[in-house]
Chain A
Amino acid sequence: MRPIPRWADLVLVPLVSLLLAAVCATLVILAIGQNPMEALETMVAGALGSAYGWGYTLYYATSFIFTGLAVTMAFHAGLFNIGGEGQAQLGGLGIALMLLFVPFPHWSIALLAATVAAAVFGAIWGAIPGWLQAKRGSHVVITTIMFNYIAYALIVWILVDVLRPAGQAEPATARFAVGIPALSDVPGLSSIFTQAVPVNISLFMALIACVAVWALLWRTPLGYEIRAFGKSEPAARYAGIRPVRTVMIAMALSGALAGMMSINNVMGDSGRLLQNSSEGAGFIGIAVALMGRNHPFGVVLSALLFGFLYQGGAEIGLWTSIPIDLRVVVQGLVILFTGALDHMVRQMLSVLFSRRKVA
């Protein structure tokens, strides 16, 4: 197999993968007897056609940037963190505890404290599987999946038996006293977001986190250690990189990023902690990271794409008779083509490029 040019590897491989996923999704829609064009129109109109639509698209993209970065961080250490979902929900719990029990004079201080709480709770939920892998040899993939289920049960218990206000039937906490400004409240941006939209200033935090992750991975000794460990554990060990420390730090950072996602939905949107607050965003992080080729800037682009898919998928569920679960199918297809069948895509492209040279 002839190697393909670098630009094709970076740009064409994800695009072709996406195209293949789209073709498969179209076939699925046809197979269940629905109209793919109608679905596409509904998606585009619903996700991009109005301030309301792209307010939601960006809102979802914010969450996906955080969870995508979380998966990216672990991937660079050679770890596959499927626990973003649980880590995000634990992050939400941290935010809820902070905002319910500490009276804050101003939302900016509350945001700072809540971010720290979310990161710490998420980091703990990520670091435990990391420790178990490094010290006890239990596989991080299985442990993080188990921790998702455990987190779910833990949150149910806390919401039903501990934090639920007296007299309220719904399993949720009381409303927080403070929130953060939506982009429609920010002076200057309110002319773009003419309606009340859930996208909030945590979008900027997500972008800052991207730069921070990039700087950490490629501009610090710690990042070097993480990437070296991910490339080859024996070589890293030989170079004096401590495996337990590296695994735990990578998993803690990964969990912290997933936890911070909850600033967006728990503090920014719902204003209280609900059951299953992350709504699958932790899992979408896997697709986002793979599609973004495990680079923070790629993550931003693919998070925007998945924000579009997610909001568009919600509109499909509302206005057509295609179930909302189409989103999960597309997510699976994207992961399959970008993460597992990437060699197939590369082989297809290499045929294309070698032919061009002969001609």
Chain B
Amino acid sequence: MDYTTFLQILDSTLRLATPLLLACLAGLFSERAGVFDIGLEGKMLVAAMSSGAVAYLTGSAWLGLAAGVATSLLWAAVHGIAAITFRGNQLISGVALNFLASGMTVLVAQAAFGQGGRTPALSGAARFGELTLPFAEMLRPVPVLGPFYAEVMSGHSILVYLALAMVPATWWVLMRTRFGLRLRAVGENPAAVDTAGISVTRMRFAAVAITGILCGIAGAYMATALQAGFGREMTAGRGYIALAALIFAKWRPWGALWATLLFGFFQALAFRPDVVTAVTHVDIPVPALEALPYILTVLVLAGFVGKAIPPRAGGEPYVKER
């Protein structure tokens, strides 16, 4: 494998890691506040559909993004009502909302466009274009680092850079602000937070809303930047892989970046059977490569996580009167 091919794979690693990273950070906010969210997948899916539809109808990728975030927030609100207000089972609520997303997206897309549950192909301003970073061409002749900067770092949509910027932003919010301290405390010991006179319900709803926004961006990225339009089940388990990455990252923002880049790399490899064959000298069947990200998710969870300690109050509804 030569350097150019390697850079191509890294380039698509970054592309494919972006929705995982956004979803992983989304899950991080929710779980750090003590609300499990299996429904990242469904939120991404509804966001992808509505952003694809609105971007097509208005011709604006930004309006598509707004629509995606709004729909994702709606799903997050239902999850919040079920999990926080009515103290329902958070895993089941997430699974239910995923099914609801899977059916509703096809139903609505079919009713609106009649193309078998897809949204029409996007082009021009309805998609997020690729940005060229400053000096990308000028620095290209610099050995090793030049092509890396020009090929891998430059030439992505603005949402990729937004996702990367979200990593330090998440770290700062969680670790350096009062809001972040309270959010983490709600996930560890809600009773203590309650005693301090802070509403557990409000903190958890705030966290779930942030999860909704980030999943919305992730879904919009899938439909308006990574691909040109929404397709049935287009998220293909990314929400679940993001959850696995979150555990791998031990619920930490920088860990989330490295974990999702790793999973993005697996996905990028699955798209390049020629490279895998050349490196391993084994003719690997295509379905095996397609299963690779899922197999590696299982292996990573089983073998390399070590001791991952989840937020202590995760998954437990807070009952005040106890």
Query: Which residues of chain A have a CB within 8 Å of any CB of chain B?
Result: 28, 32-34, 80, 82, 132, 136-139, 141-143, 145-147, 149-150, 152-154, 156-157, 160-161, 283, 286, 290, 322-323, 325-333, 335-336, 339-344, 347
Contacts and interface: CB of A to CB of B under 8 A. Distances in A.
B92 A290 contact: yes
A157 B295 CA distance: 15
A156 B240 contact: no
Contact of B298 (A34, A132, A286): A132
Given A325-B107, A326-B103, A344-B86, A335 B96 contact: yes
B181 interface: no
Given A328-B106, A340-B83, A344-B82, 12 more contacts: A80-B91, A136-B301, A143-B298, A152-B291, A153-B288, A329-B107, A332-B96, A332-B97, A332-B98, A340-B82, A340-B93, A341-B88
Contact of B294 (A149, A283, A329, A332): A149
5 contacts: A146-B297, A149-B294, A332-B100, A341-B81, A344-B82
Contact of A329 (B38, B104, B308): B104
B5 interface: no
Contacts of A335: 92, 95-96, 99
Contacts of B111: 32-34
Contacts of A143: 298, 301-302
A347 B106 CA distance: 33
B106 A139 contact: no
Interface string B6-46: 00000000000000000000000000000000100000000
B100 to A, nearest CB: 3
Contacts of B298: 132, 138, 143, 146-147, 150
A138 B301 contact: yes
Interface in B218-272: 237, 240, 243-244, 247
Contact of B99 (A156, A161, A331): A331
Nearest to B244: A142
A343 B91 CA distance: 15
B287 interface: yes
A137 B308 contact: yes
Closest 5 CB pairs of A and B: A328-B103, A332-B99, A332-B100, A340-B93, A153-B291
Contacts of A146: 237, 240, 244, 294-295, 297-298
B100 A336 contact: yes
Contacts, number: 148
A253 to B, nearest CB: 20
B96 A325 contact: no
B110 A323 contact: yes
B198 to A, nearest CB: 24
- Which of A34, A136, A329 gathers most chain B CB within 10 Å? A329
B296 to A, nearest CB: 9
B202 interface: no
B211 interface: no
A146 B247 CA distance: 14
A120 B88 CA distance: 34
Contact of A339 (B89, B108, B287, B305): B89
Nearest to A162: B285
Contacts of B92: 80, 286, 290, 335, 339-340
Contacts of B287: 153-154, 156-157, 160
Nearest to A82: B95
B97 A145 contact: no
A143 B240 CA distance: 9
Contacts of A328: 99-100, 102-103, 106
A329 B288 contact: no
Interface in B273-317: 285, 287-288, 290-291, 294-295, 297-298, 301-303, 305, 308
Interface string B102-133: 11101110110000010000000000000000
A347 B308 CA distance: 37
A7 B301 CA distance: 43
A145 B240 contact: yes
Contacts of A150: 291, 294-295, 298
B92 to A, nearest CB: 4
B96 A339 contact: yes
A286 B91 CA distance: 12
A161 B285 CA distance: 9
B103 to A, nearest CB: 3
Nearest to B105: A325
Contacts of B290: 153
B28 to A, nearest CB: 15
Contacts of A332: 96-103
A160 B286 CA distance: 11
Nearest to B310: A139
A34 B117 CA distance: 16
A283 B237 CA distance: 15
Nearest to B308: A137
Contacts of B297: 142, 146
B83 A142 contact: no
A265 B102 CA distance: 24
A341 B243 CA distance: 23
Which of A283, A327, A332 has the most chain B CB atoms closer than 10 A to its own CB? A332
Contacts of A33: 111
Contact of A32 (B87, B107, B237, B291): B107
Contacts of A34: 111
Contacts of A290: 92
A331 B103 contact: yes
Given A137-B305, A139-B247, A156-B287, A325 B95 contact: no
A139 B96 contact: no
Given A329-B100, A336-B100, A141 B106 contact: no
